[in-house]
Amino acid sequence: KDSDVSIRRRALALVYALVTADNIGTLMKELLEYLVVSDVEFKADLTHKIVDLVKKFSPSKRWHVETFVRVLEQAGAYVEDQHCHQFLALVSQTPELQAFAVRTLYRAVFEQRHARA
C-alpha cells in the first residue's frame, strides 16, 4: 500500500510467492481488498496474479467460483479472455457446480445493477 509503484510490485511478487494451499483464504481476502483500491496501472498485473492463485490453490470448486466472480465484479475489464474461458470450462465440465455458478453470477449482476441505481 506504499505510494511507490516499484515497492508495490515487489510486495505483490512477495505475497504471490508466499501463497500456499494453507493460507490462500487469508491472503486472497487481503488481495481482493487491495484490488478494490489499487491504481489503474497496477490492476492488470494484480488481477492476473489473483486469478492465477485461484486456479492453483482453490480449496474447492465453489470457492473458485465465488472468488472468480468477486474478481469479475471488482476488475472485470482486467480479467484476460483465457481466464474467462478456463472459468467457463470449469463450470461447463462440472454439472454439480452449474446451478451454483449461475446463482452466484446472477447475484453479482443484480447487486451491481442495484448499486448503480
> Reduced to 3 states, what is the DSSP secondary structure of residue 1?
coil
Question: Tell me: the pLDDT tens digits for 41-100?
Answer: 889 999 999 999 999 999 999 999 999 999 999 999 999 999 999 999 999 999 999 999
pLDDT band, very low/low/confident/very high, at 17 (cuts 50, 70, 90): very high
Task: Give every CB contact of residue 30 below 8 A, 6+ residues apart in sequence.
Answer: 15
Spell out a b/e string for 79-99, using b for 16 or more CB atoms within 10 Å of the CB, else e: beeebeeebeebbeeeeebee
The total number of residues written for the chain in this structure: 117
Rounded to whole angstroms, the Cα distance separating 80 from 47 reads 9
pLDDT band, very low/low/confident/very high, at 1 (cuts 50, 70, 90): low
In this predicted structure, what is the pLDDT of residue 117? 62
